[in-house]
Amino acid sequence: MSAPRTPLLSIKDLHIEFDTPDGTVKAVNGINIDLFKGEVLGIVGESGSGKSQSWMATLGLLAENASTSGAVLFDDHNLLNLPTRDLNPIRGNRIAMVFQDPMTSLNPYLTVETQMIEALRIHQKDMSKPAARQRCIQMLDRVAIPDADRRLKQFPHELSGGMRQRVMIALALLNDPEILIADEPTTALDVTIQAEILDILLALQPERGMAVVFITHALGVVAEICSRVCVMYAGQLAEVGPVEDVFTDARHPYTLSLLKATPRAAQDTTEQSNEALYAIPGAPPNMRMPPQGCPFEPRCACANSECSQENPKLEPLDDAPERLKACFRQQSSAELTEALNHGR
């Protein structure tokens, strides 16, 4: 890390709350994330850790009952309180998003063509319909959809799941966005198709020099494609850093547990095959009443009284300033692993 780079987009102290009939759910509690140009940032966490919601908030896509505070700075705008009229030229154009469920994310009542062309022409007003159509065909070719001309005329229900997700990616990339937010784009798909989709994303990212935010709960995928990773737990960041460092030398007990709970093929068979898969004890906290201290404290093998009193802040590591973690424990990865194994 040489001179400090200016981030392309930065999330500052973002809070998201959902107002539900059964109480207020504090989904995200003060996270700070910087996204730099051309990087692939992985966001990892369990379901309900707020990883998707924090990026939905970026594009103003939260449900009606959500309220936010903090800031999302992009190009001198705070996206959080930008009125929809000013947000529209940004979303779909400079920041695009691919969603988790390709089955329901395309409008079943409109043809693929209608849905793609409208995305293009809303941002490039002077583009003619045939030109837009041509561009759509190019883009579909680019995401490896054969017979794009015919596919354009079809309705979403006539496409397979993988095909729809590719259409979604093509849709997102139509306007050459600077940032692509991929919200679990492969979760709903078959494993073989997952690989294809990842390949497509990996091929397209450097070619366009865009920043990709890859939200997932699959650590393997993160290791494969991301340069930096943010680990989220209960609406907070647990650990942030370059992927290799975090995965080989995790400093937060949660990251470690998560890594330990991931089933591995090939390499570790000798060591782990006879053991049951590790599961983190307990359940994530009820986000209607988040705990006062560290949210991971009840499940943490290394916790002490300090952890239940105060919520640790996200701070740079002493030995690696580009890495951050939110934990009072300062042990090394090996020591933490020891504690974890002991705790079982």
Nearer to another protein, 122 or 279 (CB): 122
Nearer Cβ to another protein (109/279): 109
Quote the least distance from Cβ 227 to another protein, whole Å. 24
Cβ distance to another protein smaller for residue 168 or 314: 168
**Token pair belonging to 93:** 């154009």
Taking the complex as a whole, the smallest distance from the CB of residue 103 to another protein amounts, in Å, to: 8
Question: Rg (Cα) of the chain, in Å, rounded?
Answer: 21
Distance of closest approach, residue 198 Cβ to another protein, in angstroms:
21
For residue 52, the minimal CB distance to another protein (Å) is 11
Q: What is the distance between the alpha carbons of residues 218 and 222, in angstroms, rounded to a whole number?
A: 7
Chain residues binding another protein by CB under 8 A are: 21-23, 59-61, 63-64, 84-85, 87-93, 96-97, 99, 101, 104-111, 114, 118-119, 122-123, 155, 157-158, 168, 171, 286, 288-289
Where does the chain show beta strands of DSSP type E? 9-20, 23-35, 40-44, 66-74, 77-78, 95-98, 179-183, 211-216, 228-233, 236-242, 315-316, 324-325
Cα–Cα dist 32/12, whole Å: 5
Nearer to another protein, 87 or 131 (CB): 87
By beta-carbon proximity to another protein, the closer residue of 72 and 106 is: 106
| In the complex, minimum distance from the CB of residue 51 to another protein, in angstroms, rounded to a whole number | 16
| Among candidate residues 195, 189, 261, the one with its CA nearest the CA of residue 44 | 261
Q: How far apart are CA 143 and CA 172, in angstroms?
A: 11
Closer residue to another protein (CB): 242 or 291: 291
3-state SS assignment for residue 20: strand
Contact 227, 40 (CB under 8 A): yes
DSSP-derived 3-state class of residue 281: coil
Amino acid present at 192: T
Quote the least distance from Cβ 64 to another protein, whole Å. Answer: 6
